[in-house]
Structure 1
Amino acid sequence: MSDKRRVKVKLSLSGPDRNQVSLMLRKGTSSVRVIKRAMVLNLFDQGIASPEISKAVGVTPETARRIAQNYISEGLNRALFDKQRPGHKRIFSDKERNEIIALVCSDPPDGFQRWTVRLLAEEAVNRKIVKSIGRETIRVILQDHEFKPWRKKNVVRSIVK
């Protein structure tokens, strides 16, 4: 085993950062993850070492040191919040999604009064827009476009008595 000595992290919050951290801790309206990170920064600011901080907050000493290093190198926002992540790549292209929306805007097949999510999925495959697609994916596409085909657009009706 190597004899690595851990360097004690010395952290001093700036005045505005200290105020923001203490406000977050008083309010307690942020997520648990953010509150724990704020607690870590607050305890480092008080001169407490990472092993004690880890026991008090419920994180590992490495996590406490990483939060402090993020504050030192990139500031308060980076210490409290994660970087934006790229997310999962879309399975269907914008062209395919737009063709499905165009399909919804068209008249339903003979024998049907309106489009259902299941019917849209079947028709998208039949028209070779996509190889296969599920009902939930159709629903998400419609939701992403804030598309509500069952609503009448720009219709104002008075109450008839």
Structure 2
Amino acid sequence: MKKYIVTLTAEERQDLHELIAAGKAAAKKLAHARILLKADAAEGGPAWPDGRIAEAVEVSVATIERVRQRFVEQGLEAALVRKKQARPSRERALDGRAEAQLIALACSAPPDGRKAWTMRLLADTLVELEVVPTISDETVRRALKKAN
């Protein structure tokens, strides 16, 4: 017995059909729309079992269960789109201001006794100038590569 039963209204069903027909959305959103249409247990809905939906839409049964749950608990829009992360997985080491300071530093003359800036030297100088508490030379390299 299913814990989360999808029952679409006629309007929701129409919206999902239009979304799929247009084909102008992310693949995951279109797949979730197909899942909801196939899982629809309302009168006149196909009410396919999860295994059959998984085979037809080419997703896992767990995905179907999650889409069903989000539809029942949070509504149609939440079931179609990926949920937002509470916060980014990690903070950026260099914000816009710090990146600008890095670029200005890299474009300036190197310290006495040096022919050119090294990534390590740039990273150490950013820490000395208290632009950032810590930074790796690889982060400096990536930021400079992105700036080019």
- For the superposition of Structure 1 and Structure 2, which TM-score range results when normalised by the shorter chain? 0.5 to 0.7
Secondary structure class of the residue paired with 2:137: coil
Q: What is the TM-score normalised by the length of structure 1?
A: 0.62
**Any stretches of 5+ residues in structure 2 without a counterpart?**
none
Q: Given that residues 8 and 49 in structure 1 are in contact (C-alpha distance below 8 angstroms), is that contact kept between their aligned partners in structure 2?
A: no
Q: Given that residues 93 and 135 in structure 2 are in contact (C-alpha distance below 8 angstroms), is that contact kept between their aligned partners in structure 1?
A: no
Q: What is the TM-score normalised by the length of structure 2?
A: 0.66
Partner of 1:64 in structure 2? 64
Please tell me the residue identity of whatever aligns with 1:37. H
Q: Distance in 2 between matches of 1:50 and 1:39?
A: 12
The higher radius of gyration belongs to: 1
Please tell me the residue identity of whatever aligns with 1:12. T
**Any stretches of 5+ residues in structure 1 without a counterpart?**
1-5, 112-117, 143-147, 149-161
Please tell me the residue identity of whatever aligns with 1:54. A
Q: Distance in 2 between matches of 1:33 and 1:21?
A: 13
Partner of 1:90 in structure 2? 91
Runs of 4+ in 1 over 6 A off after TM superposition: none
Q: CA RMSD in A?
A: 3.1
Q: Distance in 2 between matches of 1:59 and 1:99?
A: 43
Q: Distance in 2 between matches of 1:71 and 1:138?
A: 44
Q: Distance in 2 between matches of 1:40 and 1:10?
A: 12
Partner of 2:100 in structure 1? 101
Q: Given that residues 54 and 61 in structure 1 are in contact (C-alpha distance below 8 angstroms), is that contact kept between their aligned partners in structure 2?
A: yes
Q: Given that residues 50 and 61 in structure 2 are in contact (C-alpha distance below 8 angstroms), is that contact kept between their aligned partners in structure 1?
A: yes
Q: Distance in 2 between matches of 1:131 and 1:64?
A: 42
Pick 1 or 2: higher relative contact order, CA cutoff 8 A, min separation 6.
2
Seen in structure 2, the aligned counterparts of structure 1 residues 27 and 110 have a Cα distance that, compared at 3 Å, is same
Partner of 1:35 in structure 2? 30
Please tell me the residue identity of whatever aligns with 2:39. F
Alpha-carbon offset, residue 103 of structure 1: 4.9
Partner of 2:122 in structure 1? 123
State how many pairs are aligned.
129
Please tell me the residue identity of whatever aligns with 1:133. D
Seen in structure 2, the aligned counterparts of structure 1 residues 79 and 100 have a Cα distance that, compared at 3 Å, is closer
Alpha-carbon offset, residue 43 of structure 1: 0.8
